[in-house]
Amino acid sequence: MPNDRRPENMVRITTPELADAFIEEQLQALRDQIGDKKVLLALSGGVDSSVVAAMLIKAIGDRLVCVHVNHGLLRKGEPEQVIEVFRNQMKANLIYVDATDRFLDKLAGVTDPETKRKIIGGEFIEVFAEEARKLDGIEFLAQGTIWPDILESEAGIKAHHNAGGLPEDMKFELVEPVRILFKDEVRIVGERLGLPANMVYRQPFPGPGLGVRCPGAITRDRLEAVRESDAILREEFAKNGLEGKVWQYFTVVPDFKSTGVKNGKRTFDWPCIIRAINTTDVMEVTVEHLSDELIDHLVQRIITEVPGINRVLFDYTPKPPATVEYE
């Protein structure tokens, strides 16, 4: 594989010029590796897979087949943005699979966090493999592996998601065009490839998506409350200049109800928890302190706009002891 390891003396990509030079070199390497064959990519809409898609569209056009699996746990507007950016603007060969019902049916009644994660990961591979089997003549699988993934898997910190655990009979040669880059370099390269800033600079989002922010057994109504409150939080952070400044921020809707009152009537609804944190390595995390005005505004919007919520709580706990996500 070309560019297997990051050269020791490689200059950190910090400018548009350096990014452009990397892109030129990489496009040639991709064309040499792939020839006139076809490539398959699981396009989640995250930074790494989006940059890989943009790079391959430039290198081989519609011989890249992108599969976007909507597992029903994505944030509001995300699948729409993937379709808009890649299919409509970049003219990608994009297969969109709305597998929401399939995932939510499998997850129904499942309370254990690890079991939820396993179901989401396993089902994802199954849906992706089913789509891959329908295609002819694919010889390559593209992946958004980045340099820290390689370093961490070598150090035994985490299992590298090589070939994503596809079934044994599905063998592809790997194409990893951002394999030697650090995250900040991937972002600059993505910008130079024409991806929108909110895609390239987005906050980290866990693979199991909103599933881990709907603790316990996921129900469609509580999941919707997470999705709507998360959208309000993101909108308000953007308006208040906090987007891109705060590392990660999200809402959680736990599986218990409390008494409230609305329009003179008793309610029995969920609370919505807001968590906003800063970190450099995610091992230690500090809390972003919000202004009183913003807190009041967020509370007002969420209790009036999100069905099923009658209380808003703020999680001001650092890590340790509290992890970033709730499960």
Which CB sits closer to ligand XMP, 212 or 290?
212
Q: Which helix (H) or strand (E) holds 67?
A: strand 64-70
Among 157, 282, 305, 317, binds ligand XMP (CB under 6 A): 282
Among 126, 288, 315, 325, binds ligand XMP (CB under 6 A): 325
Binding of residue 157 to ligand XMP (CB under 6 A) = no
Q: How far is the CB of 211 from ligand XMP (least distance, A)?
A: 9
Binding of residue 143 to ligand XMP (CB under 6 A) = no
Which CB sits closer to ligand XMP, 79 or 208?
208
Binding of residue 248 to ligand XMP (CB under 6 A) = yes
Q: Single out the residue of 160, 142, 179 nearest to residue 38, CA to CA.
A: 142
The widest CA-to-CA distance across the chain, in whole angstroms, is 70
Size of site (CB under 6 A) for ligand XMP: 11
Q: How far is the CB of 264 from ligand XMP (least distance, A)?
A: 40
Binding of residue 161 to ligand XMP (CB under 6 A) = no
Question: Where does residue 97 rank: exposed (0-12), middle (13-18), buried (19+ CB within 10 A)?
Answer: middle
With CB under 6 A as the contact rule, which of the stretches 107-115, 163-171, 225-233, 316-324 interacts with ligand XMP?
316-324
Q: CB within 8 A of 267, min separation 6: which ones?
A: 259, 260, 261, 310
Q: How far is the CB of 293 from ligand XMP (least distance, A)?
A: 27
Please tell me whether the peptide bond between 148 and the residue prior to it is cis, using omega within 30 degrees of 0.
no
What whole-number distance in Å separates Cα of residue 196 and Cα of residue 61? 19
Task: Tell me if 61 sits within 8 A of 86, measured CB to CB.
Answer: no
What whole-number distance in Å separates Cα of residue 42 and Cα of residue 132? 10
Q: Single out the residue of 43, 42, 18, 47 nearest to residue 198, CA to CA.
A: 47
Which CB sits closer to ligand XMP, 315 or 325?
325
Q: How far is the CB of 4 from ligand XMP (least distance, A)?
A: 24
Q: How far is the CB of 216 from ligand XMP (least distance, A)?
A: 16
Task: Tell me if 186 sits within 8 A of 48, measured CB to CB.
Answer: yes
With CB under 6 A as the contact rule, which of the stretches 93-101, 151-159, 302-310, 317-325 interacts with ligand XMP?
317-325
Which CB sits closer to ligand XMP, 38 or 117?
117
Q: CB within 8 A of 55, min separation 6: which ones?
A: 23, 26, 27, 30, 177, 178, 189, 193
Which CB sits closer to ligand XMP, 207 or 254?
207
Which CB sits closer to ligand XMP, 124 or 270?
124
Q: Restricting to residues 203-242, which ones interact with ligand XMP according to CB under 6 A?
A: 204, 206-208
Q: Give percent helix, percent strand, percent coil of the chain, each to the nearest 5.
A: 45, 20, 40
Q: Restricting to residues 100-119, which ones interact with ligand XMP according to CB under 6 A?
A: 117
- In order, the DSSP letters of 196-248 are -HHHHTPPP--TTGGGGGS-SS--HHHHHHHHHHHHHHHHHHHHTT-TTTSSE
Q: How far is the CB of 56 from ligand XMP (least distance, A)?
A: 22
Contact string 65-104 vs ligand XMP (x = CB under 6 A): ----------------------------------------
Binding of residue 319 to ligand XMP (CB under 6 A) = yes
What number of other Cβ atoms are within 10 A of residue 116's Cβ? Answer: 23
The span from the first CA to the last CA of the chain, in angstroms, equals: 37
Q: Find where tokens 């906090």 sit.
A: 242
Binding of residue 6 to ligand XMP (CB under 6 A) = no
Residues that bind ligand XMP (CB under 6 A): 117, 204, 206-208, 248, 282, 319, 323-325
